[in-house]
């Protein structure tokens, strides 16, 4: 029988939605923390295929999710393009910046990314051998706008101000960055598929800070280009797009991009998303990740609410954003049990 995630992505309405969780391999799990300590640091873990495969498999062994998502990071691509990348303890990623024509001209392009990223492809090959036969393997990348915000600022920012500033002050360089990221994201995801990824997901975590025409040009259009080119190279490949906090921009996103599934965050209600987004195809989401921390009856009630709201169309159950490090692993099990018990 075809894997449940693939059936939902093909538009099938299933009696029980398949389930996985963004950042399911992560710091909330003691076994992840042990493996990361063995690796030495976060980037060493990303680039060690055996250990990266191990942490990808940990939540599958513990919970039996319907999909595993490759353990990697969205900033590995700009590192492969030639930027310095490091993680400051307790502060998150730091990287060298691209804000001028001269800095842009130093970036790599095309196939040169694969020398750096080859360990990621090896992780995928290991996973295809070791994952249970019923578990779908999802590859991923960051969307061009979101990755660009880090490249321009050199770090994560609350309002993506530096990227918006460059867009306003030096649009030609800004657009060159978006174009280079669009081109190389296609190459990166295509190589993931060739290594064995069955589905790919594009994370546009900061899409919501783009408004009006900017949302169309720098969130929707790159997603469309990437989706269409990947489908041309790999016929039948399912693509999940996640323009987080897109609000009204979620409406019509399937049709405009060719996505098989649109993931929605929890700033919109599941009822709204069912009425406005699921009418166009499979939806993924959208339980608030805070329930993985607080648990209790509210977790069960909200999980049932999400399942019920999306029960008339194709649905992949997930959180509205990634699980946080302070989550209780027992709450994850309770969520899974609630989904699989039915409404």
Q: Considering the domain 4-282, what is its CATH architecture?
A: Alpha-Beta Barrel (3.20)
Helix (H, G, I), strand (E, B) or coil at 320: coil
Residue 1: predicted pLDDT: 63
Q: Is the pTM of this model over 0.95?
A: yes
* 3-state helix/strand/coil string of 209-266: HCCCHHHHHHHHHHHHHHHHHHHHHCCCCCEEEEECCCHHHHCCHHHHHCCCEEECCC
Active site residues: 23, 27, 36, 73, 150
Write down the pLDDT at residue 343.
Answer: 64
CA distance 34 to 24: 15
**Angle in degrees, CA 150, 201, 198, rounded to 5:** 140
Residue 233, Cβ density class (10 Å: 0-12 exposed, 13-18 middle, ≥19 buried) = middle
Q: Are 302 and 288 in contact (CB under 8 A)?
A: yes
68 conformational bin, left if phi > 0, alpha if psi -120 to 50, beta if neither:
beta
Q: What backbone torsions phi and psi does residue 318 show, to the nearest 5 degrees? A: -160, 175
Q: What residues in the chain have per-residue pLDDT under 50?
A: none
Sheet (strand 67-69) strand order: 67-69, 136-142, 199-204, 239-243, 261-263, 282-287, 315-319
In the prediction, which pLDDT does 212 show? 96
* Four-CA torsion 190, 260, 263, 341, nearest 10 degrees: -110
Beta bridge partners of 88: 92
Spans of all domains in the chain? 4-282
Alpha carbon distance 228, 109 (integer Å)? 20
Distances (CA, A) of 7 to 187, 279, 309, 339, 343: 26, 17, 19, 17, 20
The CA distance from 110 to 176, in Å, is 14
| pLDDT score, position 92 | 87
Q: Is there a cis peptide before residue 286, judged by omega within 30 degrees of 0?
A: yes
């Amino acid at each position: 029988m075809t894997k449940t995630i693939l059936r939902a992505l093909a538009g099938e309405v299933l009696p029980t939605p398949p389930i996985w969780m963004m950042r399911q391999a992560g710091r909330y799990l003691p076994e992840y923390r042990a493996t990361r300590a063995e690796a030495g640091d976060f980037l060493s873990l990303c680039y060690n295929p055996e250990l990266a495969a191990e942490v990808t498999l940990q939540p599958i062994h513990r919970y039996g999710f319907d999909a595993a998502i490759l353990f990697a990071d969205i900033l590995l691509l700009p590192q492969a393009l030639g930027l310095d990348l490091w993680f400051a303890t307790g502060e998150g990623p730091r990287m060298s910046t691209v804000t001028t024509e001269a800095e842009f001209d130093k970036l790599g392009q095309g196939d040169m990314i694969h020398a750096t990223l080859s360990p990621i492809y090896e992780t995928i090959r290991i996973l295809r051998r070791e994952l249970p036969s019923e578990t779908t393997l999802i590859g991923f990348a960051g969307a061009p706008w979101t990755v660009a915000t880090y490249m321009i600022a050199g770090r994560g920012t609350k309002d993506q101000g530096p990227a918006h500033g460059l867009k306003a002050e030096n649009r030609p360089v800004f657009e060159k960055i978006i174009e280079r990221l669009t081109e190389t994201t296609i190459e990166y995801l295509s190589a993931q598929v060739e290594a064995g990824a069955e589905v790919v997901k594009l994370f546009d975590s900061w899409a919501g800070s783009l408004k009006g025409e900017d949302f169309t040009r720098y969130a929707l259009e790159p997603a469309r280009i990437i989706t269409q080119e990947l489908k041309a190279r790999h016929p039948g490949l399912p693509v999940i797009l996640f323009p987080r906090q897109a609000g009204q921009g979620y409406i019509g996103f399937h049709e405009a991009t060719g996505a098989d599934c649109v993931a929605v965050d929890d700033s919109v209600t599941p009822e709204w998303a069912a009425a406005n987004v699921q009418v166009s195809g499979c939806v993924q989401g959208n339980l608030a990740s805070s329930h993985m921390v607080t648990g209790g009856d509210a977790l069960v009630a909200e999980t049932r609410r999400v399942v019920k709201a999306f029960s008339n169309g194709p649905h992949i159950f997930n959180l509205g954003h990634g699980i946080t490090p302070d989550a209780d692993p027992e709450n994850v099990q309770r969520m899974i049990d609630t989904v699989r018990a039915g409404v």
